[in-house]
A and B are shown apart, each in its own frame.
Chain A
């Protein structure tokens, strides 16, 4: 196909449509005999005490922040890695210094005990 992204777009549409079609088919042929007890949350288990949407541990948030820093920097490294074969040694060392800054950040987070699960 001439346009690769058009192909990807078609693929995404079919990728959603087929599983959705299976769910619709299952909805059509499955029995529907609901009652309040069957539809209760965590049926046949303990009843939920309080709110279901609990507050989450702050630790998850810290890991999320650390991940964000690294993920953004990793995306910057992809063009560097692709062009590596044509880059002079100077530019490669520059990229490595960039990674070392990343490592320094990791060392700082580590020293601050942000990686401990408390």
Chain B
């Protein structure tokens, strides 16, 4: 078999022959090879994570009309590595009164909840950890661990600010999980599978963003809220709760929260790319080989990461009542309507050609978006009239 056609399998076969040549049992060698693959994958993700720090700082600098890190190494590329060294040699301050086990476990779980997502991300048909047939449920379950890590950090810190920040963050995360899960149901309906690889392969003809632009938008918004990034970063509202749940953390423990947040954003950018923007498909470029396909997925993840950064540095923080009202009174009903329309259209037009289905899906989404905007407009007009007291009070005044 050619290395460029299937690098993982070729390497695994070579290692297998090597290990069995040493007299190792086949089952043990298999586990060892997989373990090696997992360690390499996670290490690559952590290195990408270090680079994400640099990207984030450079991009935010451009948004704010600054230069960003540019002293340490070319274009400041060594800066994040210097930061890592600094985090390592910082003193770990554990305040009195903390719940030690929970306190130390929280940063580990925070980054763990992101790392385990890469087990199911298909970088290419040949390069993927495992193609779970319940992949999307696995994604939701991993998200729950992230929520858990935040409440653990807030609860164990013995600090009111941390606790309040954790409450807010958890309220946001569990609320926005509903539209997120509904948005995940849309690719499931379209592809007929929950497996990430199946969803990627089903988008060969047409990316799902053209079939369901509203689904892609809802997924993006709820992903940003799940990440706890601006405009939904209430847990870190500096003027209110200082730094939120990670206020009592220092050194590498804080570093894991920071790394986990950035990698989380990157990973959700990747999921956005895989679920709605064709996965490793890019106009036939993926046929050049699995390594090119993997590069395409990572490129799409970077684009998604950039969009999330763009949102973060453009919009301002919103109030918690606005955030929860936006979710329960707008996103949840909207996502349920989109899901119902998607399910109905896919059943009625099951035997129709892809183009008819695609066109009707797109038009139905546009129609839903238009109706939603009209309803919002009329509601806000009514509210404004109430606030300004134009129509109602004068009528009442005339009656009295």
Contacts and interface: CB of A to CB of B under 8 A. Distances in A.
Interface of A: 1-2, 4, 6-8, 10-12, 14-16, 18-20, 22-23, 25-27, 29-34, 36, 38-43, 45, 48, 52-54, 56-57, 60, 63-64, 66-67, 70-71, 74-75, 77-78, 81-85, 87, 89, 92, 95-96, 99-100, 102-103, 106, 109-110, 115-117
12 contacts: A1-B130, A11-B119, A11-B129, A18-B42, A19-B256, A31-B89, A43-B93, A57-B167, A78-B185, A85-B350, A89-B348, A100-B340
- For the complex of A and B, 3 pairs with smallest distance between CB atoms: A117-B321, A26-B252, A81-B188
Tell me which of A39, A42, A57, A109 has the highest count of chain B C-beta atoms within 10 A of its own C-beta. A42
Q: How large is the interface on B (under 10, 10 to 19, 20 to 34, 35 or more residues)?
A: 35 or more
Contacts of B39: 14, 18
A63 to B, nearest CB: 6
A42 B256 CA distance: 20
Interface stretch (B70-78, B109-117, B377-385): B109-117
B252 A23 contact: yes
Given A30-B88, A92-B343, A78 B93 contact: no
A13 to B, nearest CB: 9
Contact of A84 (B119, B192, B324): B192
B251 A26 contact: yes
B132 A115 contact: no
Given A31-B89, A56-B167, 14 more contacts: A1-B130, A7-B119, A19-B111, A26-B92, A30-B251, A60-B171, A64-B174, A67-B175, A67-B177, A82-B193, A84-B347, A103-B336, A106-B332, A116-B321
A70 B91 CA distance: 44
Interface of B is mostly: helix
B181 A71 contact: yes
B178 A48 contact: no
B35 interface: yes
Contacts of B87: 26
Nearest to B187: A81
A14 B116 CA distance: 9
B93 A7 contact: no
Contacts of B360: none
B361 interface: no
B256 A22 contact: yes
Nearest to B192: A85
A117 B327 CA distance: 13
B52 interface: no
Contacts of A77: 185, 339
Contacts of A18: 39, 42-43, 46, 115
B192 A78 contact: no
A80 to B, nearest CB: 8
B30 A96 contact: no
A3 to B, nearest CB: 9
A61 B130 CA distance: 37
Contacts of A22: 88, 252, 256
A15 B42 contact: yes
A66 B176 CA distance: 12
Contacts of B155: 53
A82 B185 CA distance: 9
Nearest to A20: B108
B347 A82 contact: no
A41 to B, nearest CB: 5
